Amino acid sequence: MVQLLNGVGYCVSIGDPVKLETIMLFRTLTVSAMAGALILSANLALAADKDQAKDQTKDKTQIQNQAPIYGSQLMTEQERIGHRNRMNSFKTKQERDAYQLEHHKKMQERAKTKGLTLPDEPPMRGGMGPRDGMGPGGGMGPGGGMMPGY
């Protein structure tokens, strides 16, 4: 009688078909379970990526909604809401820039009719403006790093 050592670690006689069938079934179930776990983890990772992308889009929209509007002090609440909605509806930066320029001119005219003055330049959107960033002394200059000697 010849004995074979299979991959699971059992010695199986070739003449014992029941044991061999049980081991093959165990192997098949193990491989199926591992494949299922791999597919499930891949789907969970994709779902997490979609949620993260959705959150980033939501955050970007909220930031745009909170960004200062040029001439907002001359606008009604309805006009500000409409302006934000219109800004969020544009698909390209060029569309947004053209609309902002048009809005800038409109607010300049409105300020002039009321005897007010607005700054010549519209407020910067995003980026580091004079009020943003850390300011003096906030960086990690010499001696402020984590590594000695850097």
Structure tokens that stand for 108 in this block: 């300049």
Most confident of 12-26, 48-62, 73-87: 73-87
- State the average pLDDT over residues 78-88: 90
What confidence tens digit (pLDDT) does each residue in 38-62 have?
888 888 888 777 777 776 666 565 5
Determine the pLDDT at residue 133.
47
User: In this structure, are residues 130 and 68 in contact, taking their beta carbons and an 8 Å threshold?
Assistant: no
Determine the pLDDT at residue 118.
84
Whole-number average pLDDT of the chain:
74
Beta strands in the chain (DSSP E): 3-5, 11-13
Residue 82 has pLDDT above 60, yes or no: yes
Distances in whole angstroms, Cα of residue 43 to Cα of each of 30, 33, 49, 147: 20, 15, 10, 39
What confidence tens digit (pLDDT) does each residue in 111-135 have?
999 998 888 775 555 444 444 445 5
Residue 103, CB half-sphere, CA atoms under 13 Å: how many? 22
- State the average pLDDT over residues 53-73: 69
